[in-house]
Structure 1
Amino acid sequence: MGGHANGTEEIILDKRREEHIQHVFDGFCKRVLKNAANDYYDEIMRRSKHEVLLADCWNLPHTIDEYVLESAVYTVLGEDIRFTNSALINALDSLSEENRTIILATCVMGLPDREIAEHLKVVRRTLTYRKAKLLQELRRVLSDV
């Protein structure tokens, strides 16, 4: 009978030890996730201090020349948008129609990603990712001009 009680104590100790290990592991996982989230938000904040939104550039003070050598009209979600800047026209012409719609709907029309994604029948996250890549590419192309 004494041996049987000893076995029960070992089982109870093993369960307690297992629960302790689970709690320690849970705590470790929570710390790792929290630190990863903090790192992600810190990176976003660091980048946002140096980024200039293309949409903000549209509102800068500017003059419009009276002569127009070249112009282009793009129809985006049923609205016509005219451009006269040849560098911008060339950059926009290099995009597919869907990518051009993403850029113009965001930067000119000011539509939120959710609404654009609905019009294009794509997932919002996919649209957000593509928009970020497109803006990066347009910045590179237009800065070379």
Structure 2
Amino acid sequence: AFLRVADSLSRLDARAAGEVVEGGQGVSAVEFGGDLSMGVGTDSGHMMLYDLRAPAPVVCRDHRYGLPIKRILFQSQPGKGKKARMVSVDAKVIKIWDGEQPGKLFTTIESPAPINDICLYRSSGMVLAACEDHR
């Protein structure tokens, strides 16, 4: 037999982050990390990293373009005990955040054409971006 509970056990509040702008805070991308972490992207262009044991984000960063975050991914790093880097994507830029120091930008990849989606080749550092560019 299953017990159904109408109330949520826990809740993550995107408004709890100090850097998040007021107004509509729609979530546009979500991805679970391997170590009780979760990346969240908003329609206002913010990236947040949560520890699932806490209701407020560990870190919140603005992509600075005001475009919705299209994708959040975690890229594992070679080496034992290294934390995965978080990758956040909007239509203009791919930002890779340091896994050891959450919120510290590792690198940025800008595209001359709008980005639709990306994929990562596991543990290699290779990024493939699908863009609105005609060739």
Say yes or no: TM over 0.5: no
TM-score, with normalisation over the residues of structure 1? 0.22
Is the radius of gyration larger for structure 1 or structure 2? 1
Query: Which structure carries more strand by proportion?
Result: 2
TM-score, with normalisation over the residues of structure 2? 0.23
